[in-house]
Amino acid sequence: MEPLGRPIAERCLMPERWLSVDEIAAHLGVNPDTIYKWIIRKGMPAHKLGRLWKFMASEVDDWVRTGKAGQNEHHE
């Protein structure tokens, strides 16, 4: 058993859950206001559900790893 109470294999089969602005900010160690700026200015991967922004940590981690977080502006 893992410290989290479930075997690794079981945790790997669980779908990734959506994170809030506060949760993704904590994940990245930044202020939530920075997240809103990054969505607009840097094309941070985010999904809008009504008035709320939701994130997949795996998408955001890939965005950071590929260097897109370091770009000055979002270009489509």
CATH number at residue 46: 1.10.10
pTM > 0.85: no
Domains identified in the chain, total number: 1
Q: Is residue 1 part of a domain?
A: no
Asked if the structure places residue 22 within a domain, the reply is yes
Is position 7 within any domain?
A: no
The reply to whether 47 falls in a domain is yes
Range of the domain at 50: 16-70
Q: What confidence score (pLDDT) does residue 46 get? A: 98
With vertex at residue 8, the alpha carbon angle to CA 26 and CA 17, rounded to the nearest 5 degrees, is 40
In a domain, 31, yes or no: yes
In a domain, 2, yes or no: no
Predicted confidence (pLDDT) per residue in 29-75, tens digit: 999 999 999 999 999 999 999 999 999 999 999 999 998 878 766 55
**Pair 45, 39: CB distance under 8 Å:** no
pLDDT attached to residue 14: 81
